[in-house]
Amino acid sequence: MFGGFRKKDKNKASRQAAAAAAAANSSSNSSSSSSASGNGASGSSGNNSGGGSQGPAGSAGANGSGAAGDDRFAGLTLLSAMSLKDVSPSEQPRLFVRHLKLCHETFDFQELTHLKEKEAKRLLLLGLVDYLNNPNTHVHEYMFPDIISMVSANLFRALPPRNDLWGDEEDEPMMELAWPHLQIVYEFLLRFVVSGDVEPKPAKKYISHAFVLQLLGLFNSEDLRERDYLKTILHRIYGKFMALRAFIRKAIANIFLGCIYFGDHHNGIAELLEILGSIINGFALPLKAEHKRFLNTSLIPLHKVQGLATFQQQLEYCVTQFVEKDNKMAEPVVRGLLRYWPEVNSPKQCQFLHELEEILELIQLQEFRVIMVPLFRRIAQCLDSQHFQVAERTLLLWNNDYLFTLVTQNRREILPLVFDVLKRNADEHWNSNVQTLSQNVLKAFQDTDKQFYDEVQCASKAASEKRADAAVERSQLWDAICNQVAVASPSSSSSATASVASASSTYGAAGASQSNAAAPPRAP
């Protein structure tokens, strides 16, 4: 029995001796190759010494530790990855790139799975942001592809289906479940764009037209937090990459045109208009034809979009910025508002009146005289609105000192257009506020030029009497027609009289002329 154990020990000893011999041979071979590689490393170091800044691979090749560093980080996973703070500054760039590749992995936040991996990725993303915020670290050009690849893998995705109705207040906006990761990725992208190490010339290969278009596509997200980040990032890109400015403006215009002419629902119109507001503020004078065309074809027609209430304030700011830049833009803007003026939507009419007042405060007398006649025809229709808030908001225009000055200077053209409806509101409107404001406006006209006011009042009274006489004559004519029908066919006199009376109430004067032509001639 003991002999068997001795035999096994002898075999084991022989195997250990063979392993030791093999290790010795391997050691001698590695030492010879190490000396050769040392010569090669020194030679390569001498060749690269004047070649400017080197990446981690180049610097690793120079000190002979590149392969060891790569092997050290190559096997890392989300759960086994070490922090950037746990390695030396010379190793941080390589570990930074490795973390970027690890963060390509995305997770489904609708399911409560992979919780440890999700938390590990979140910590890695925070470490990447800290790396960019650290003034002692630098972002090198060789990192750009991995950075943009990681950002694209996390951000560019199919958005969930949205509601078809604009501004549906009953449904809550859909919040992004993956926001714990997305927020950090957006913060990372923002820090990358504003970094002083990122020069526009080398970075434009990665922040390209396709990248910008994908960013613009994310503006349709229902999550307001995501749209706020996108707004800031796109604005920074516009300011830093001058070669992309014209493309960004055209891409935004295409989104607007889709909403205007195809009825596309878009959640990010307000944020895009905020970006444009600051862009328009920086336009140089005189305005280029491209900028004027953008105003006429994209901004002004946005007023007819169904969801105007969701971005009215931002749109108004952009339009007024154009008028502030060039007063001559007031005429096409006012004519555009009159073209797209809502007929039955009272809240939208009040919004238009507010924007109209903002624009008229910037208009000059010469431009005002060009558009005052069609403008005050529309104002007269608003004064005659059945909705008291529309009439009240219109009357408040006269409380603006600058507008009142423009109106009084052109009272001979304006007062005849609005006198009748002002007089009617002042005498018989059911709302006391509208009645009082109408009386105040009439009194202001009277105090400014009493003689002309009396002339307009007399002309209005004469026109009213003429209309009353015409109404009496029309009534008498229809009575005569009814009598003729009754004489012509006594058996159906009642039905004929009823049908003629119905036609009279429906068609008015037009019906009167048609019935008069069809009726038999009067008996002598």
307 or 5, higher pLDDT: 307
Task: Report the predicted TM-score, pTM, of the whole model to 2 decimal places.
Answer: 0.75
Hey, what are 98's tokens? 């490795």
Confidence check: pLDDT of 33 > 80: no
Mean pLDDT value of segment 202-209: 94
365 contact partners, CB below 8 Å, separation of at least 6:
406, 409
Confidence check: pLDDT of 222 > 50: yes
HSE-up of residue 372 (Cα within 13 Å, Cβ side): 23
Which of 12-16, 294-298, 387-391 has the least mean pLDDT?
12-16
For the packed helices 224-240 and 269-281, what is the interaxial angle rounded to 10 degrees? Answer: 30
pLDDT at 174: 81
What is the band of 73 on the pLDDT scale with cuts at 50, 70, 90? low
Mean pLDDT value of segment 269-281: 95
The tens digit of pLDDT for each residue in 479-522 reads 889 888 888 876 554 555 555 455 555 444 444 444 444 443 33
Is cis: bond before 286, omega within 30 of 0? yes
Characterize 105-126 residue by residue with b for buried, 16 or more Cβ atoms within 10 angstroms of its Cβ, and e for exposed: eeeebeeeeeeeebebbeebbe
- Domain boundaries along the sequence of the chain: 85-158+177-206
Helix (H, G, I), strand (E, B) or coil at 173: coil
Distances (CA, A) of 308 to 101, 267, 269, 498: 43, 12, 10, 47
What is the band of 230 on the pLDDT scale with cuts at 50, 70, 90? very high
Confidence check: pLDDT of 183 > 50: yes
Q: What's the mean per-residue pLDDT of the chain?
A: 81
pLDDT at 50: 36
In the chain, % of residues over pLDDT 90: 60
Confidence check: pLDDT of 256 > 70: yes
The tens digit of pLDDT for each residue in 333-363 reads 999 999 999 998 999 999 999 999 999 999 9
CA distance 196 to 139: 9
403 contact partners, CB below 8 Å, separation of at least 6:
357, 360, 361, 397
The tens digit of pLDDT for each residue in 10-32 reads 444 444 444 444 444 444 443 33
